[in-house]
Chain A
Amino acid sequence: MNKTLATIFSLLITPILAFADGGVLIPRDKAQPDPAILSLEEMEITVQIDNGDARVFVRQVFANHTASIEEGNYVFALATGATVSDFAVWDGPTRIPAVILERKRAEEIYNQLKQQSIDPGLLQMGERGAEEAKRSAIFSARIVPIPAYGTKRLEFEYHESIPVENLKSHFAIPLRPDAYQAQAARHLRINFELRSAHAMNNFQAAAKAFPLKLDENSPHLIKGHFEGQNVSLTEDFVATFDLDRAGTDTLQVITHRNPISAQPSPTETAPIRSNNEPGFFAAETLLGSGKSRSAAPGDTAKDAGGSKTLIILLDTSLSMQWEKLERSYQALETLLRTLKPGDKFNLILFNSQTQSFQSAPILADSGAVQRALDFVRASRLRGGTDLQRALDEGLRQSSNSSGKLYLVLLSDGGATRGTIQNGKLAAWYETAWKRLPEASRPKTYIFGVGDDANLPLLKMLAREDGVLESVLSTEPMDFKLSSFLSKIGRSPVGQLQFSIAPEAAVNSVYALQDSAFSGWMATWVGRFQKAQPDVAFTVRGVRDGEPFAISTKANLPRESLDHAQLPRLWARARVDALLEKIQREGEDQASIDEIIRLARQYKFVTPYTSFLAVPRALLRPRVIRPGDPVLRVKTDESIVSVVALFPFGLVQKLRYLSDEDTWQTRFFAPKDMQDGTHSVRLVLRDRAGHTYREAKTFVIASKTPVVQIKLDQKRYRRGQVLDLKVAASQSTRTLVARLEGAAPVGLKWDSKAGVNTGLLFIPDQMIPGTYRLTVTAEDIAHNMGSQGVDIEIVP
């Protein structure tokens, strides 16, 4: 026996593995891209950023170098908030595009196709299981057939909002592999275009592997391209730019109107073309700092002054297990370590119960911070989440506190006890929050974690003078965490309102942000039916206690084909508003019908629609869940027999568990089976007698990761940056360095240095002495290994 007890299963295209891989095609039965089988011959990336909306179009051609027909799994990691808008596979000269359909209809077609041994590759959102939810973060589709010595062309398009914070903006395409070995493109071309109504400066495209040749670099338009042969995709494509401070507190309006309706959908039975289609606009203002020049936009680290009191609610329910808890803890540790000596905090752990670190907030000295962190480590996870009880306790403690009050919630927002319905819970919180005297109302700052985070609820809770930041389980969190932390101590612009005169000129206007700070771009989108000149647009708000107003005038044109993203941007905002209405008031058919219509018209996935991606992939079992030594497989209901063929000769029938709708068996791997990735093959038979073969990988992980810290020196000064180099076992998935008194740092693999690297900042105020630097590695099986070294901190 029983090496199997340390075995974990993973999907061949396991979402938890795929951190950031931009378009890899993994051959069947392989865990990594293999250019000897399928190589990336051509890759063309077209980026068009138009006033905060990025459209990324990727065209790839893969070549099959074998004499047999191949199949592969296409994987593309998406950033938070990115939505797939198109996907197509070319079958010879025929383009097979994806289609958006009503979810129920999509599922019917999906099931019909499966009966014919065809898997159309269904992409949905809003699934309850974490594994399912992860699929919306990782786009994947089975690609078959790839002809022998032939090529396969794929096209993929997504949209992403590019926020502006502190007058800075950041855009990235994830090309650098975290999960797989880097793939190389025999020919790579990147076309880049950036348009902004506000003047830009300091544009940088930092990636060394793809130096962008700028064809135009003006304040409102930047165009460039890169072209290269045999390019190794070892870096993400990253572009950053600043918005000109001179443009703050100005309002820019862009419009789009194509009065002629688009081509009808092939499924429409009696299409009528219209020549009076509505127009769309976006009004954007770059919020300045008003009179308070001491806290100018861009000065992120500057506190607005005065000490703060933070009531921190940390979710320790079972649903937070693994990455969510680790990330929340990292956020908590970083938050506590950035508090100033005069600041106060208290910590409330919550699950089905609440547990306070202290009865009331205490001063945030380093001893208290360490005790609070130990308090978390000494706690235990419990099933059930009573978010209402936690918020209630937070508000109670807030009402007894003074100063600048913050209620910081670190959670996935999955309430299972108390009031659990999103709309009701948000309404209860709003009432309870407003019941407090104004001076005792805390700003509600929320850091949502996890791919299945209940963002609609968290978004509604953050409306109480707060802000919401969310991070997926698999995406790097440094940027988002620092963005979140930079807002603590600062106040959002209050009572932000948008108005238009004459009011009747437009309809259905939506804000694209729930809150905004100085240095942010605030945007509203709306629709108009008739052309009209000299419409007045005004933004009002309160900044540092002072009311302000920003106005401009613009024409609403009869026809303007620029800014083609606006209809889709408006449709998304409209759907978000309808979804929130449903959250608050329950479903109504009119809202659902409108959501389906808009989603189909503008091609995006909603809880009521699905994306039928690729009609041609073979039937596959949907989920193999982690767990050992048990093999569990979910299949379609037509499957009547599943047999596993193990690589060591065992042939094992799986048993169907009707309660869980899952097939299961367990097995012993031989003692001499080496650690690593192995393949188990499944033979599935359906009612009609059709037989299907599937290969899934599993990992034998019987050893914990080994960590080796390499330091040039053992003595450091306060304020110095510790340049960390750490070697770790190949199975390592995450690597975190911790030093008491300093914020933890995640280390990343540096392919050039051949080692994991990271920078750890030793705080200026650290007390001299000997400290233990610990680096912890975690592998895919959540096995952990660590190494600690003592270092000396001197003044």
Chain B
Amino acid sequence: MGGNRKLTFATMIGAALAMVGVFVGWRASRALHQSAQEIHSEREIRFQLRPFLPPSNVNFEVVSAPDVFLRAGRFQNHLYIAGPAGLSEYDQAGTLLRQFEVGRELPSSPLVDMAVGTLGDSAEPELILGTAAEGILVFDGRRFRQIYAADVEARSITAILPVSAGHLLIGTKKRGVLLYDGKQIRELHPTLSNLYVQALAGSEVDLWVGTLSQGVLHWHAGTSESFGEEQGLPDRQVQAIALAGDKSYVGTPVGLAEFDRGRFSRVLGSGLLVTSIFVNADDLLVGTEDQGVVHVPLAARRPGLNAQGATKLAEVQQFLGTGDGVYVLTRNGLFELPAHGFGWKEVLKPRPAVLNDRNISALAADKDGQLWIGYFDRGLDLLPGASTRVLHVENEHIFCVNRIWPDAKSGTVAVATANGLVRMGASGSQQQVLTRADGLIADHVTDVAPYRDGLAIATPVGLTFLDANGARSMYVFHGLVNNHVYALGVSGDDLMVGTLGGLSEIGRGEIRTNYTAGASGLKQNWITAVVPVGDEWMVGTYGSGIMGLDRAGRFHAFEKATAEVEINPNAMLTTARLVLAGTLGDGLYVYDREKARWAVVQDGLPSLNVTALAESKGYIYVGTDNGLVRIQEPRLQP
């Protein structure tokens, strides 16, 4: 009995101790769990997983522009190629099957990366696409769904890497490496946060992260190790990473670094501006920005380089390895290097397009209805009204186009460029180039407008008047509100000069008034566009949207349009019914003159960066940094 009592007592004590132990353990576990949850929630990023539904009633028509190839991949036995314009699907014979254009079937944001993988919320492999500003798109072959982070910085994607267990690693411009596991998005690890990620390679537990300015980070065993120029990397900017067994190859703008079992080993291909890397058995294929594909032998003590196709293979983007050989994707085509063959063979090129470039900076229609399309850095196209045969002009002066102004009186067209003011005939022939040597205050012309019996010419250092008496120039010294002139607006003898530091009103060639932010009611000094609208002016600004200025010199705000919006330089147009304004990232602002009401149009635009506008034959042409669209004016309903 006594023994039993003892046993009972001991059991009771033991049970009590055990209970205490369990309680303590439970408390500790709870605290740990709570703490982990807090840490998780701190690092977690809110997002929506939603089907992407293309906008309905898109009335814009696309004026075709050249495709730019950026990424390629095989999915469901078809070849998919992604680029700023969208996604194209080809069959094995290279026939284009389907196209998904940004702004229409896809969000209005360029595609920047593509991969095939199985995510946690799906049982099958899917095509995963990274966008510049709209997060991740996932395509199952029929429908798109969008992983849309609430934080804009988590939506600015630079690289994607599907890894095991249905996870997706996401490289961003500012938030470093994120992890999507099908249920949540979170930062992978604090040491990999706040980075500008350029490239990802490896797995969730052994990951190489290439950055814009901090070299490469090797994340493994719960820690990250950093390699910069001090550790042997040829440059701090990483362009590409490739892994093969124990070896890692990290490409930079001036060569590659080889790592062996995570340790820096040697520099290869010194001087190459690397964009992509493919590892063969005995050598590396190195894609470059300006030297095509270069073979870099791995065995030689002092590796010799053998460049191939420097001209043809410009701007290499990616390698694709298959059993039959290697494919290389460049900006302008897909090429194949057969397994035992020599030389690169083109197997796919972009479909024909009407325009010669996508990045539009100026638009104008002349009196014959010809459309003049100026490019950011590719000259200009002249699109005759009756045909789709385009005349392309690109030379040392017509290169960076800022503004095109057709002179109905003389039939000539003035083209404002970064390298002078070029006068052209209606047929696109170059007649005259005016530069500083001819009396302009600068070579760089930002805007041009007819004024009195001549031209007013805007430059970053002042304003030049050009007429039969020659060129005369003025800047701040002569009373202009600021030297940096962006935009000119003309109404009779009145000239409005929009500058970085305010607005100058010129009457009959003399400065009448200067308006600056503050006392005048103007909300923003940086003026990017000015157009006369009836009895008043509408003034586009960089940062405060659009304001009205009446003839008495009073500014007034508009509902919706006077907001934190950047109007692009000279991206305003007035028609009989509408006033239109192109913005930086907010689409097209449209003002109904009769209803005195502004509305915002985004659906159907290839980019929300609207850079130029023109009206011709009942159409409104809308130029963006990612292509040109047009719409019949009556269908543009604010």
Which residues of A approach B to under 8 Å, CB–CB? 1-3, 5-6, 67-68, 318, 321, 325-326, 329, 352, 377-384, 627-630, 641, 643, 645, 647, 649, 651, 653, 655, 657-660, 664-666, 668, 671, 681, 683, 685, 689-691, 693, 702-704, 778, 781-785
B400 at the interface (CB under 8 A from A): yes
Contact A382 B585 (CB under 8 A): no
- Residue in B235, B289, B396 whose CB lies within 8 Å of A653: B289
| Bound Cα distance from A239 to B568, whole angstroms | 55
| Bound Cα distance from A660 to B437, whole angstroms | 13
Known contacts A321-B461, A653-B290, A671-B584, A380 near B444 by CB under 8 Å: no
| Bound Cα distance from A649 to B479, whole angstroms | 39
Chain A positions within 8 Å of B473 at CB level: 318, 321, 380-382
Chain B positions within 8 Å of A647 at CB level: 212-213
Contact A379 B478 (CB under 8 A): yes
| Bound Cα distance from A305 to B348, whole angstroms | 90
Nearest chain-A residue to B255 (Cβ)? A691
Contact A649 B439 (CB under 8 A): no
Contact A781 B476 (CB under 8 A): no
Contact A649 B569 (CB under 8 A): no
Known contacts A321-B441, A326-B477, A704-B500, A5 near B253 by CB under 8 Å: no
| Bound Cα distance from A2 to B567, whole angstroms | 9
Known contacts A1-B611, A666-B376, A704 near B501 by CB under 8 Å: yes
Chain A positions within 8 Å of B436 at CB level: 318, 383
Contact A782 B483 (CB under 8 A): yes
Known contacts A318-B439, A377-B478, A691-B271, A643 near B461 by CB under 8 Å: no
Chosen A-B contacts, 5 in total, with CB atoms closer than 8 Å, are A380-B474, A381-B472, A627-B460, A643-B289, A689-B305
| Bound Cα distance from A289 to B58, whole angstroms | 91
Contact B471 A383 (CB under 8 A): yes
Min CB distance A187 to B, Å, is 30
Beyond A5-B569, A318-B473, A658-B396, 12 additional pairs, beta carbon < 8 A: A321-B441, A326-B477, A627-B444, A630-B418, A649-B158, A659-B396, A666-B377, A666-B400, A683-B273, A702-B500, A781-B484, A782-B475
A-B CB proximity, top 8 nearest: A383-B439, A691-B271, A380-B472, A704-B501, A381-B473, A657-B396, A630-B418, A641-B290
- Residue in A641, A666, A784 whose CB lies within 8 Å of B482: A784
Q: Identify whether the interface residues of B are mostly helix, strand, loop, or mixed.
A: loop
Contact A691 B270 (CB under 8 A): yes
Min CB distance B419 to A, Å, is 7
Contact A671 B585 (CB under 8 A): yes
Q: On chain B, which size bracket covers the interface?
A: 35 or more
Contact A651 B253 (CB under 8 A): yes
- Residue in B158, B441, B444 whose CB lies within 8 Å of A318: B441
| Bound Cα distance from A68 to B228, whole angstroms | 12
Chain B positions within 8 Å of A6 at CB level: 484, 500, 526
Contact B442 A5 (CB under 8 A): no
Chain A positions within 8 Å of B400 at CB level: 630, 664, 666
Known contacts A318-B439, A329-B477, A641-B290, A783 near B482 by CB under 8 Å: yes
Min CB distance B463 to A, Å, is 9
Min CB distance A81 to B, Å, is 28
Contact A352 B470 (CB under 8 A): yes
B517-529 interface code vs A (CB 8 A; 1 in, 0 out): 0000000011010
Chain A positions within 8 Å of B474 at CB level: 380-381
Nearest chain-B residue to A652 (Cβ)? B377
Contact A1 B584 (CB under 8 A): yes
Min CB distance B310 to A, Å, is 10
Chain B positions within 8 Å of A378 at CB level: 478-479, 510
Min CB distance B447 to A, Å, is 11
| Bound Cα distance from A710 to B90, whole angstroms | 71
B330 at the interface (CB under 8 A from A): no
- Residue in A660, A668, A782 whose CB lies within 8 Å of B461: A782
| Bound Cα distance from A382 to B467, whole angstroms | 12
Chain A positions within 8 Å of B237 at CB level: 645, 681
Nearest chain-A residue to B439 (Cβ)? A383
Contact B437 A383 (CB under 8 A): yes
B399 at the interface (CB under 8 A from A): yes
| Bound Cα distance from A704 to B483, whole angstroms | 10
Chain B positions within 8 Å of A5 at CB level: 446, 460, 484, 486, 500, 569
| Bound Cα distance from A1 to B483, whole angstroms | 20
Contact B441 A381 (CB under 8 A): yes
Chain B positions within 8 Å of A651 at CB level: 239, 253, 273, 289
Nearest chain-A residue to B196 (Cβ)? A649
B625 at the interface (CB under 8 A from A): yes
Contact B439 A382 (CB under 8 A): yes
B229 at the interface (CB under 8 A from A): yes
B615 at the interface (CB under 8 A from A): no
| Bound Cα distance from A703 to B460, whole angstroms | 14
B186-198 interface code vs A (CB 8 A; 1 in, 0 out): 0000000000101
Min CB distance A363 to B, Å, is 27
Nearest chain-B residue to A640 (Cβ)? B290
Min CB distance B441 to A, Å, is 7
B236-252 interface code vs A (CB 8 A; 1 in, 0 out): 01010000000000000
Min CB distance B341 to A, Å, is 26
Min CB distance A412 to B, Å, is 16
Min CB distance B245 to A, Å, is 29
Contact B478 A380 (CB under 8 A): yes
Min CB distance A452 to B, Å, is 15
| Bound Cα distance from A778 to B439, whole angstroms | 24
Contact A627 B290 (CB under 8 A): no
- Residue in A321, A352, A643, A783 whose CB lies within 8 Å of B290: A643
B566 at the interface (CB under 8 A from A): yes
Q: Tell me the B505-557 residues at the A interface (CB within 8 Å).
A: 510, 525-526, 528, 542
Known contacts A2-B569, A352-B470, A377-B479, A704 near B584 by CB under 8 Å: no
B148 at the interface (CB under 8 A from A): no
Chain B positions within 8 Å of A379 at CB level: 478
B254 at the interface (CB under 8 A from A): yes
Chain A positions within 8 Å of B501 at CB level: 704, 783-785
Nearest chain-A residue to B486 (Cβ)? A5
Chain A positions within 8 Å of B486 at CB level: 5
Chain B positions within 8 Å of A690 at CB level: 271
| Bound Cα distance from A46 to B555, whole angstroms | 63
Nearest chain-B residue to A6 (Cβ)? B500
B258 at the interface (CB under 8 A from A): no
Chain A positions within 8 Å of B254 at CB level: 683, 691, 693
B173 at the interface (CB under 8 A from A): yes
B146 at the interface (CB under 8 A from A): no
| Bound Cα distance from A123 to B136, whole angstroms | 55
Nearest chain-A residue to B396 (Cβ)? A657
Known contacts A382-B472, A382-B473, A643-B290, A627 near B442 by CB under 8 Å: yes
Chain A positions within 8 Å of B198 at CB level: 649
Nearest chain-A residue to B463 (Cβ)? A380
Min CB distance B360 to A, Å, is 12
B453 at the interface (CB under 8 A from A): no
Chain B positions within 8 Å of A671 at CB level: 566, 584-585
B423-457 interface code vs A (CB 8 A; 1 in, 0 out): 00000000000001111111110100000000000
Chain B positions within 8 Å of A3 at CB level: 542
B319 at the interface (CB under 8 A from A): no
Chain A positions within 8 Å of B574 at CB level: none
Min CB distance A208 to B, Å, is 37
| Bound Cα distance from A664 to B395, whole angstroms | 12
| Bound Cα distance from A3 to B584, whole angstroms | 11
Nearest chain-B residue to A658 (Cβ)? B396
Chain A positions within 8 Å of B442 at CB level: 627
Contact B253 A666 (CB under 8 A): no
| Bound Cα distance from A382 to B441, whole angstroms | 8
B609 at the interface (CB under 8 A from A): yes
| Bound Cα distance from A532 to B444, whole angstroms | 66
B230 at the interface (CB under 8 A from A): yes
Known contacts A2-B542, A643-B289, A653-B290, A702 near B477 by CB under 8 Å: no
Chain B positions within 8 Å of A67 at CB level: 230
